[in-house]
Amino acid sequence: MDSNTDHLVWGVTIAAAQTEGAHDRDGRGPSIWDTFTKKSHKIKDKSNNQIATNFYDRYKEDIDLSIDIGLKIFRFSISWSRVLPKGTGSINKKGIAFYNKVIDYCLEVGIEPWITTYHWDLPQNLQDKGGWRNREIIIDYENYITLLKDHFSDRVKKWILLNEAIVCVGAGYFLGIHAPGKRGIKNFSASIHHMLLAQAKGHRILKERKGLEVGTAVSCTKIDSYSNQRKDLKAAKRIDALMNRLCIEPYIGLGYPEKELPLVKRFKKFIKDGDMEEMKVDFDFWGIQTYAREVVRSAWYIPYLGSVLVTPKKRKVPVSVMGWETYPEGVQYFLERFSNYDPKKPLWLSECGIALSEKEDDSERIEYYKKIINGMNKVVDKGINLKGILLWTLVDNFEWAEGYVPRFGIVSMDKKTLNRKMKKTAFWLKDYLSSNSV
């Protein structure tokens, strides 16, 4: 043991829509991703997630693999429409039973289960009523959280409410490139506000039970300006406010970053008296998820944002299979930045990984994680309250609109047999964790 990061806990994150499969089994209702993937042109390789990695049947194998690698946390998400097929109303007991099995198995073999309550797969029935655009969804979310609390919080102590609200709403309700494929400023404004408010209410509900640690997972993208010209610097501030502050600062009591991001004015008609006050909640931890860096320049002709991205290709920087600039330095940057909000607040890297292409030799991923460890070392040296890191992800899976082409897993999967095989990174990590474990 030679590092100051030995106390950090390592785990893994997965998400229901990307792994479970079993889309119509045992009473599960459809989610917006079931509907979206039927429009085949929406998914790059024309695939869907009906089988995915079949975590539904193979959860034991995946949990065993995680244990074998030396991981201590298994973060998974609940498919809302598996436990409440219509998103509201009658409960699907078989859905509850499935998650009970996952939780109990984790506890039996000695890995800590963490729950994400919402990782983007809204029940289709709720979308039919407007989805996040409709304020009534807040009540549905509260009821859903109460159900999860009643069934699972006796054994699950760590909870993440929303996974990356900005990506979920930005891609799904503004750009239309993710389910439910809605576009436009009105959809965006209403959905962000309702989702963030729902999360605050969900937090209060879960905290009624003593001993739970309840946080949120936020997407963080380092934003730099293309030049030192004033208009580019301003554009960078605008995009930074959108990507890295909008879904965070209302909780800290700072409100929406209206000064830097004028489009926030559009939110006004959806904000009711008392909402901003209600939004102030003290999360037990921040889950930080950072994958990339973007460079932006001012572009007056782009509505609402007035900015364009200068693509990594133009900038000639290394990219992952997602087309994102490979930027492990972001970890240190964002951990420091969040620590500035409140140095005492525990921080987790609740997702961390890189997409490569289909090959067994993923040495590049090992190099990536070494750089991440380096960054974690530096922040721990500075006294930042980092608790641990959850990898994205265990098994190669359904990467949303990108289908199965980008491979984020440290374990590969044969598409026909669904058999799993540890990649080089998994062996390397196993070694690393066994020699660094406390």
Q: How far is the CB of 293 from ligand GCO (least distance, A)?
A: 15
Q: How far is the CB of 324 from ligand GCO (least distance, A)?
A: 8
164 vs 362, beta carbon nearer ligand GCO: 164
Residue 116: exposure state from Cβ atoms within 10 A (0-12, 13-18, ≥19) = buried
In the region spanning residues 247 to 306, those forming contacts with ligand GCO, defined by CB under 6 A, are: 289
Provide the β-strand partners of residue 77: 116
> Cα angle vertex 160, ends 264, 98, to 5°?
130
125 vs 350, beta carbon nearer ligand GCO: 350
- Whether 121 and 168 have beta carbons less than 8 Å apart is answered as no
3-state secondary structure 237-253: HHHHHHHHCCCCHHHHC
Does 399 engage in binding with ligand GCO (CB under 6 A)?
yes
15 vs 198, beta carbon nearer ligand GCO: 15
Which of 164, 294, 325, 399 is the catalytic position? 164
Alpha helices in 268-355 (DSSP H): 275-278, 312-315, 329-341
Does 320 engage in binding with ligand GCO (CB under 6 A)?
no
Residues 121, 232, 325, 351: which binds ligand GCO (CB under 6 A)?
351
- Whether 153 and 114 have beta carbons less than 8 Å apart is answered as no
- Catalytic site includes residue 351: yes
Query: What's the rounded Cα separation, in Å, for the pair 417 and 373?
Result: 34
> Both tokens of residue 221?
């993208």
- CA-only gyration radius of the chain, Å: 21
In the region spanning residues 202 to 221, those forming contacts with ligand GCO, defined by CB under 6 A, are: 219
Number of residues that bind ligand GCO (CB under 6 A): 11
Query: What's the rounded Cα separation, in Å, for the pair 255 and 224?
Result: 23
Q: How far is the CB of 168 from ligand GCO (least distance, A)?
A: 8
240 vs 351, beta carbon nearer ligand GCO: 351
Q: How far is the CB of 227 from ligand GCO (least distance, A)?
A: 29
- Whether 401 and 387 have beta carbons less than 8 Å apart is answered as no
Contacts of 63 (CB under 8 A, 6+ apart): 74, 102, 105, 106, 109, 111
Backbone angles phi, psi at 349, to 5 degrees: -85, 100
Q: How far is the CB of 386 from ligand GCO (least distance, A)?
A: 19
116 vs 225, beta carbon nearer ligand GCO: 116
Q: How far is the CB of 398 from ligand GCO (least distance, A)?
A: 8
> Both tokens of residue 176?
């239309």
Does 408 engage in binding with ligand GCO (CB under 6 A)?
yes
Q: How far is the CB of 392 from ligand GCO (least distance, A)?
A: 5
**Nearest CA among 84, 110, 100 for reference residue 28:** 84
* Angle separating helix axes 424-436 and 55-69, nearest 10 degrees: 50
Does 350 engage in binding with ligand GCO (CB under 6 A)?
no
Query: What's the rounded Cα separation, in Å, for the pair 26 and 222?
Result: 42
Which of 20, 294, 351, 399 is the catalytic position? 351
167 vs 380, beta carbon nearer ligand GCO: 167
Binding mask 77-106 for ligand GCO (x = CB under 6 A): ------------------------------
Query: What's the rounded Cα separation, in Å, for the pair 109 and 268?
Result: 49
In the region spanning residues 116 to 135, those forming contacts with ligand GCO, defined by CB under 6 A, are: none
In the region spanning residues 146 to 185, those forming contacts with ligand GCO, defined by CB under 6 A, are: 163-164, 167
Q: How far is the CB of 277 from ligand GCO (least distance, A)?
A: 29
Residues 36, 159, 285, 392: which binds ligand GCO (CB under 6 A)?
392
**Max CA distance (Å), the chain:** 59
Pairing of strands 386-391, 285-298: unpaired
Does 240 engage in binding with ligand GCO (CB under 6 A)?
no
Residues 5, 8, 12, 15: which binds ligand GCO (CB under 6 A)?
15
Catalytic annotation, residues: 164, 351
For ligand GCO, the binding residues (CB under 6 A) are: 15, 18, 163-164, 167, 219, 289, 351, 392, 399, 408
